[in-house]
Amino acid sequence: MTRHAKPASLPDDDIETLSAVLPAGATLHALLKAVHAGIPPS
């Protein structure tokens, strides 16, 4: 979660890492949006 900028070219290992991390990041983002919208955290 430290790298936010996407380099122009990615090694295969980085692509695999991003593939695994991005869905989790999107889920976390959705949860944060829900919390900020007033839904209490579980």
Alpha-carbon span 6 to 38, nearest angstrom: 32
Task: Say what the pLDDT of residue 22 is.
Answer: 78
pLDDT tens digits in sequence order for the chain, 42 residues long: 555 565 556 677 776 777 777 787 788 888 888 888 886 655
pLDDT score, position 4: 56
How many other C-beta atoms lie within 10 A of the C-beta of residue 32?
11
Could you count the other beta carbons within 10 Å of the beta carbon of residue 33?
10
How far, in Å, CA of 8 to CA of 26, rounded? 22
